[in-house]
Amino acid sequence: MDSTRVDTSLGINLNINPSHKIDETPKREFQGHDCAGERKASMNQEPDPLIEELHRIKTENRKLTEMLTFVCENYTALQSHLMELMQKNSENEITKLGKRKAGEEYNYGNVSGINGDIDSSCSDGGSCKRPREIKTNISRVYVRTSPSDMMSLIVRDGYQWRKYGQKVTRDNPSPRAYYKCSFAPSCPVKKKVQRSVEDPSVLVAIYEGDHNHPQTTQAVVSVGVNPGSVPSSNSIISSTSSPTATLDFIKPGLCSNAKMASPEIDSPKLQQFLVEQMASSLSRNPSFTAAIAAAYYGKDFRT
DNA sequence: CGTCTTTGACCCGCGC
DNA sequence: GCGCGGGTCAAAGACG
Ligand SMILES: [Zn+2]
């Protein structure tokens, strides 16, 4: 039950309640052990208030768990966004010469959707054929695998995929696998999975498009508590202090779809508020970006 | 028997 | 035009 392991050691000021009620966070209930004295005091009386309080604590605990799940979800999404920004910065600095060499080291990131596809209209007058429109949003996810499935090239993300190709690429000794969603053609999502050049225990999954259906296997959006149903437990590399925080796979693009899966978490407006707040808090901290980069490379230089 | 994986062939864009 | 590299197709096989 260490659902508190994803602690916000980054100093993120998470105002879950917009009305600054953060002071009455039920830390006391969360600790659980220190309630002994309190319970002993109330043991002399009838057990009704005790049960009542227990119930309340249970509810609160569940609420907190949900909130934690949600926060981690947003955290992952934000991280991907940060990767995107960092990649853009790197590309600007590196310019374009030696783009193949640059691609080896700086191709992490997340080109999520809104790529400025300006000038999609045919300015040329006549044939406006654009066979490869990039309207699908592409997201890149790094997944650490256990050394046992070193050659499986499988990322368990809750969806069902059908492999339709595998190629050996130029810059990477490990092959790249091509997957389509099993719901194709109704669901046009594709993904590419390849091992990282730097760290062969890290899989790089590139997703294109959004699913228009729920996940086929549940028990994926679990935080901290791993139900053990996933044998090849993949874990996203996402933390600054510990090299691998086992946030099970959450795709940033799914946040819009996942709101039907978690309808009780208030409103999407609050979600956006949370994301924005986290973004501002994180982007204000310059060492965070460096730490993220370090975490993505599996190294651990703490300033 | 249906579904998924494997794997060589094929296609297409790009640089020369 | 040609070669190269990345992406996809589809026949054959594996698997349940
Ligand atoms: Zn799908």
Task: Specify the pLDDT at position A162.
Answer: 92
* Mean pLDDT for the stretch of residues A187-209: 87
Higher pLDDT, A176 or A233: A176
Whether A206 shows a pLDDT value over 50: the answer reads yes
What integer pLDDT is reported at residue A196 of this predicted model? 85
- What tens digit of pLDDT does each residue of A286-297 get? 334 333 433 443
d(CA A126, CA A137): 28
Smallest CA–C1' distance to B3, residue: A162
Where along chain A do its domains lie?
Answer: 55-87, 138-208
Is the CB atom of residue A99 positioned under 7 angstroms from any atom of strand B?
A: no
pLDDT at A167 over 90: yes
Mean pLDDT of A124-132: 37
Nearest nt (C1') to A178 (CA)? Answer: C7
CA of A168 to the centre of ligand 1 (A): 25
Q: pLDDT class for A191, splitting at 50, 70, 90?
A: very high
Q: How far apart (Å, rounded) are the C-alpha atoms in residues A65 and A52?
A: 20
| Type of residue at A42 | S
Quick check: pTM over 0.80? no
Model pLDDT, residue A67: 65
Distance A159 CA to ligand 1 centre (A): 7
**Which nucleotides of strand B lie under 7 Å from a protein CB?**
3-9, 12-13
Nucleotides of chain C in contact with protein CB (under 7 A) are 4-10
Q: Which residues 182-241 of A interface with strand C at a CB distance below 7 A?
A: 190, 192
Is CATH 1.20.1290.10 the right assignment for the domain spanning A138-208?
A: no
Per-residue pLDDT tens over the stretch A38-77 = 344 444 445 566 777 777 777 777 766 566 555 545 655 5
Residues 16-45 of A, Cβ under 7 A from nucleic strand B:
none
Question: Is the pLDDT at A111 greater than 80, yes or no?
Answer: no
Helix (H, G, I), strand (E, B) or coil at A232: coil
Distance from the CA of A180 to the center of ligand 1, in angstroms?
Answer: 8
DSSP string, A85-134: HHHHHHHHHH-STTHHHHHHHH--S---S-------S-TTSS----SS--
Q: Which of chain A's residues 146-205 bind strand B, using a 7 Å CB cutoff?
A: 160-167, 182
Q: Which residue has the tokens 């995107």?
A: A84
Mean pLDDT: which of A1-15, A132-146, A149-163, A243-257 is highest? A149-163
**A176 — pLDDT class (breaks 50, 70, 90):** very high
Res. A146: pLDDT tops 70: no
Cβ neighbours of A30 (radius 10 Å): 14
Q: How far is the CA of A153 from the C1' of B6 (A)?
A: 14
**Ligand 1 center from residue A198 Cα (angstroms):** 30
Question: Which nucleotide has the shortest C1'-to-CA distance from A175?
Answer: C6
Residues A239 and A299: beta-carbon distance below 8 Å: no
Q: Which pLDDT score, from 0 to 100, does residue A151 have?
A: 63
Look at residue A22 and tell me whether its pLDDT is greater than 70.
Answer: no
Looking only at the bridges linking them, the beta strands covering A161-168 and A175-181 are: antiparallel
pLDDT value at residue A180? 92
Ligand 1: distance of its center to the CA of A173 in Å?
Answer: 29
